A and B are shown apart, each in its own frame.
Chain A
Amino acid sequence: MSAVPAAGQVPDAAGHFGRFGGRFVPEALVAALDELDAAYRKAMGDEEFLAEFDALLRDYAGTPSMLYEARRLSAQVGARVLLKREDLNHTGAHKVRNVLGQALLTRRMGKRRVIAETGAGQHGVATATAAALFDLECVVYMGAVDTERQALNVARMRMLGATVIPVTAGSRTLKDAMNEAMRDWVANVEDTHYLIGTAAGPHPFPEMVRDFVRGIGVEARQQCLDLTGALPDAVAACVGGGSNALGVFHAFVPDAGVRLYGFEAGGEGVESGRHAASITGGSSGVLHGTRTYVLQNADGQTIESHSISAGLDYPGVGPEHAWLHDTGRATYLPVDDAEAMAAFELLCRTEGIIPAIESAHALAGARKIAPELAAELGREPVILVNLSGRGDKDVHTAGAYFGILDKE
């Protein structure tokens, strides 16, 4: 039996994960989505493409990322914690895997321009990086609120040659940046690829992005077997749109004994209404081209999300997570700002690793579930945590949160 399970049977040919997913888009985009779908399927069966993708991931992005046993953290958590060090990848997060895959496809489709949406700026930086490497024109849409919050990443994108367009419509955050990128794509679809940054959006994006990042779980599964001789008891990841979580989950989905936990941004608490926990605190709806869990009011108007983590601050979630939730295969729980920041500090102090605030949600989640798991198993549980990104971009936010910045 192969050590690495094959991809599952979802989605269907039209991109449906059970009742979720699909394509809720203007007709103008259908031809481009069909073209992308065909290019992606052809590429995934093409040895030359796969070899080129693997070489880029290894020589340029720095994968496979290490699996690190965090002993001092483990002692504090009450579980054997294994960190999948995606934070050490080039550009500082798992996102480089997806942009390299899509940039390769862009070149194959003969398109010369890529556009992207970004919240914290991580996906924008990753896209600008790939665009520089592949000599593509790059335009990044970013909410005007975020361009202010994340000025450093705006500068990074510009250094890499990208044009950053602040979006002043609506709530001026990630969802509005995505709207604006969609509008650009409708107008320029002939020569432009929309490089979506997470496993959401219309078919084939959720499936394609998952497949480009699923190496995280494939690597971690083998690394865990090599290190411990067994599979982990649980896999933990943060969930905004959900690409890092799907990336680490996917190879474990067939392993019934491995519990999968997705931790959503609870913001100021789900009961406060100021959060970004679409599965825990939202309902089924259609947003940005797909049917999934959405934060919305009774009339189907999107509600603004809130999180200290800009990368999780999104009122929807990838449709495969909605499906994993409905089928019960994965468990989704909220982690609020305070819990995430406590875990952020704990990792800094015990291991000398500054995580992205996004990833700190996964660490906080692991702390939450460790006692129950230990009680259930009658021994110390092994928890694999996807450390999806590094915290350089969050130093200002965290410094302000902990009150450790000198007066400016």
Chain B
Amino acid sequence: MSRIGVAFDKARADGRAVLVGCMPAGFPTVEGSIAAMTAMVEAGVDVVEVEIPYSDPVMDGPVIQKASDIALAGGVRTADALHVIEAVAATGAPVVTMTYWNPIEQYGVEAFARDLAAAGGTGLITPDLIPDEAAEWLAASEAHGLDRTFLVSPSSTDARLRMTAEHCRGFVYATAIMGVTGARAQTSEAAPVLVARLREVTDLPVGVGLGVGTGAQAATVAGYADAVIVGSALVRCVLDAPDEAAGLAALRKLSAELAEGVRNPVR
């Protein structure tokens, strides 16, 4: 079983959801991003999602776009992101990575799978790669024992939910809303429906992301999902902070609030 699977089993035994926290590698700097993710783990994030920045992130809202731009302007490269993954994996928390397809295609799909596994990464979330186009990734992830997380959406047909879940390993990522990343005031009404539809077609754990940013929202999502995925709200802690120490303090505070949320699921 993958390290992600262990985290899900443990949380399930504790009657709670897994908290996944996302941060772009190299934001605000390579070392700064390692410090941020380490602080998140120390404050209660169970699984770290390391986003490899990309110049044209069509599934990301303004907060993660800005963070990605800062990282790229700072010169972060795919090899740096792998270094970040290795450093964060050393904390003991499972590390999953997320990026758009072109950076991986240019790195070389097989080489990326090899180096991600060697860095201690557990798998990859692919926001713009659907199983229909994923033959090369299916083979490379199989060869290197990496998890595959494809996205499903409220607009997915039942047939596509089934097909996509069949190609996933580790967990399935359910996008809570029709839209891009970014914290929102309201929790989604579409998400519990989507998760219920997924349960009909798969036994894999289901993570829900997009629009979750507070402890209360995390508790709501934890009521029906196996993992609560938070990105923009955490990134904003660093983006809005006057200095690094303030950013880390804000990250710790929000991580702890979210960790409390996933431990008090609203059912």
**Segment touching B, from A94-102, A179-187, A216-224:** A179-187
Query: Shortest CB–CB separation between residue A82 and chain B, in angstroms?
Result: 39
Task: State A28–B59 Cα separation when bound (angstroms).
Answer: 10
- Interface 0/1 of A279-298, CB less than 8 Å to B: 00000011111000010101
B130 & A175 in contact (Cβ 8 Å cutoff):
no
A298 & B106 in contact (Cβ 8 Å cutoff):
yes
**Segment touching B, from A17-25, A132-140, A143-151, A332-340:** A17-25
A30, A169, A285, A301: the one contacting B72 at CB < 8 Å is A301
Q: Is B103 an interface residue, CB under 8 A from the partner?
A: yes
B103 & A186 in contact (Cβ 8 Å cutoff):
no
**Segment touching A, from B36-44, B148-156, B222-230:** B148-156
Q: In the assembled complex, which residues on chain B have CB atoms less than 8 Å from the CB atom of A190? A: 155, 178
B69 & A26 in contact (Cβ 8 Å cutoff):
no
User: Which residues of chain B (63-105) have a CB below 8 Å from chain A?
Assistant: 65, 69, 72, 77-78, 100-105
Q: Sample 7 A-B pairs with CB under 8 A, ordered by A number.
A: A24-B130, A27-B160, A28-B155, A31-B157, A187-B178, A300-B104, A301-B54
A25 & B175 in contact (Cβ 8 Å cutoff):
no
Task: State A28–B174 Cα separation when bound (angstroms).
Answer: 10
Q: Is B192 an interface residue, CB under 8 A from the partner?
A: no
A14 & B151 in contact (Cβ 8 Å cutoff):
no
Ranked 4 nearest A-B pairs via Cβ: A300-B106, A28-B153, A187-B179, A300-B102
- Interface 0/1 of B21-46, CB less than 8 Å to A: 00000000000000000000000000
Q: Is B61 an interface residue, CB under 8 A from the partner?
A: yes
User: Which residues of chain A (333-374) have a CB below 8 Å from chain B?
Assistant: none
Q: Is B132 an interface residue, CB under 8 A from the partner?
A: yes
B56 & A170 in contact (Cβ 8 Å cutoff):
yes
Task: State A29–B160 Cα separation when bound (angstroms).
Answer: 12
Q: Is B201 an interface residue, CB under 8 A from the partner?
A: no
Known A27-B151, A27-B164; judge A186-B180 contact (CB<8 A). yes
Q: Is A209 an interface residue, CB under 8 A from the partner?
A: no
Q: Is A302 an interface residue, CB under 8 A from the partner?
A: yes
Q: In the assembled complex, which residues on chain B have CB atoms less than 8 Å from the CB atom of A27? A: 130, 150-153, 155-156, 160, 164, 175
Q: Is A47 an interface residue, CB under 8 A from the partner?
A: no
Query: Shortest CB–CB separation between residue B187 and chain A, in angstroms?
Result: 16
User: Which residues of chain B (146-205) have a CB below 8 Å from chain A?
Assistant: 150-157, 160, 164, 175, 177-180
Q: In the assembled complex, which residues on chain A have CB atoms less than 8 Å from the CB atom of B103? A: 299-301
Q: In the assembled complex, which residues on chain B have CB atoms less than 8 Å from the CB atom of A170? A: 55-56, 65, 69
Q: In the assembled complex, which residues on chain B have CB atoms less than 8 Å from the CB atom of A22? A: 132-133
Interface size range of chain A in the complex: 35 or more
Task: State A286–B99 Cα separation when bound (angstroms).
Answer: 13
Considering the complex, give the chain A residue whose CB is closest to the CB of B54: A301
B128 & A285 in contact (Cβ 8 Å cutoff):
no
A176, A188, A285: the one contacting B102 at CB < 8 Å is A285
Task: State A14–B131 Cα separation when bound (angstroms).
Answer: 13
- Additional 8 contacts, C-beta under 8 A, given A29-B155, A187-B178: A23-B132, A24-B133, A27-B155, A27-B160, A285-B102, A286-B102, A300-B102, A301-B54
B105 & A28 in contact (Cβ 8 Å cutoff):
no
A26 & B58 in contact (Cβ 8 Å cutoff):
yes
B178 & A189 in contact (Cβ 8 Å cutoff):
yes
Task: State A301–B71 Cα separation when bound (angstroms).
Answer: 12
Known A26-B58, A179-B56; judge A14-B77 contact (CB<8 A). no
Query: Shortest CB–CB separation between residue A52 and chain B, in angstroms?
Result: 29
Query: Shortest CB–CB separation between residue B117 and chain A, in angstroms?
Result: 20
Known A31-B156, A179-B58, A296-B102; judge A24-B180 contact (CB<8 A). no
Considering the complex, give the chain B residue whose CB is closest to the CB of A26: B59
Q: Is B127 an interface residue, CB under 8 A from the partner?
A: yes
Known A27-B156, A299-B78, A300-B54; judge A294-B102 contact (CB<8 A). yes
A286 & B105 in contact (Cβ 8 Å cutoff):
yes
Task: State A212–B47 Cα separation when bound (angstroms).
Answer: 48
Q: In the assembled complex, which residues on chain B have CB atoms less than 8 Å from the CB atom of A183? A: 58-59, 61, 179-180
Considering the complex, give the chain B residue whose CB is closest to the CB of A302: B55
Task: State A14–B133 Cα separation when bound (angstroms).
Answer: 9
Q: Is A105 an interface residue, CB under 8 A from the partner?
A: no
A186 & B56 in contact (Cβ 8 Å cutoff):
no
Query: Shortest CB–CB separation between residue B125 and chain A, in angstroms?
Result: 12
Q: In the assembled complex, which residues on chain A have CB atoms less than 8 Å from the CB atom of B151? A: 26-28
- Interface 0/1 of A183-204, CB less than 8 Å to B: 1001111100000000000000
Task: State A179–B127 Cα separation when bound (angstroms).
Answer: 14
Task: State A307–B261 Cα separation when bound (angstroms).
Answer: 52
B62, B107, B177: the one contacting A299 at CB < 8 Å is B107
Q: Is B11 an interface residue, CB under 8 A from the partner?
A: no
B59 & A186 in contact (Cβ 8 Å cutoff):
yes
- Interface 0/1 of A23-48, CB less than 8 Å to B: 11111111110000000000000000
Considering the complex, give the chain A residue whose CB is closest to the CB of B81: A299
Q: In the assembled complex, which residues on chain B have CB atoms less than 8 Å from the CB atom of A187? A: 177-180
Q: Is B7 an interface residue, CB under 8 A from the partner?
A: no
A24 & B101 in contact (Cβ 8 Å cutoff):
yes
Known A30-B160, A169-B65, A301-B54; judge A14-B132 contact (CB<8 A). yes
Considering the complex, give the chain B residue whose CB is closest to the CB of A303: B55
Considering the complex, give the chain B residue whose CB is closest to the CB of A285: B102
Q: In the assembled complex, which residues on chain B have CB atoms less than 8 Å from the CB atom of A288? A: 56, 58
Query: Shortest CB–CB separation between residue A249 and chain B, in angstroms?
Result: 26
Query: Shortest CB–CB separation between residue A270 and chain B, in angstroms?
Result: 20
Query: Shortest CB–CB separation between residue A23 and chain B, in angstroms?
Result: 6
B58 & A189 in contact (Cβ 8 Å cutoff):
no
Task: State A304–B156 Cα separation when bound (angstroms).
Answer: 34
B105 & A300 in contact (Cβ 8 Å cutoff):
yes
Q: In the assembled complex, which residues on chain B have CB atoms less than 8 Å from the CB atom of A294? A: 102
Considering the complex, give the chain A residue whose CB is closest to the CB of B174: A27
Q: Is B140 an interface residue, CB under 8 A from the partner?
A: no
B152 & A169 in contact (Cβ 8 Å cutoff):
no
Q: In the assembled complex, which residues on chain B have CB atoms less than 8 Å from the CB atom of A286? A: 100-102, 105, 128
Task: State A170–B164 Cα separation when bound (angstroms).
Answer: 31
Q: Is B256 an interface residue, CB under 8 A from the partner?
A: no
B58 & A169 in contact (Cβ 8 Å cutoff):
no
Task: State A22–B101 Cα separation when bound (angstroms).
Answer: 13
Query: Shortest CB–CB separation between residue B43 and chain A, in angstroms?
Result: 30
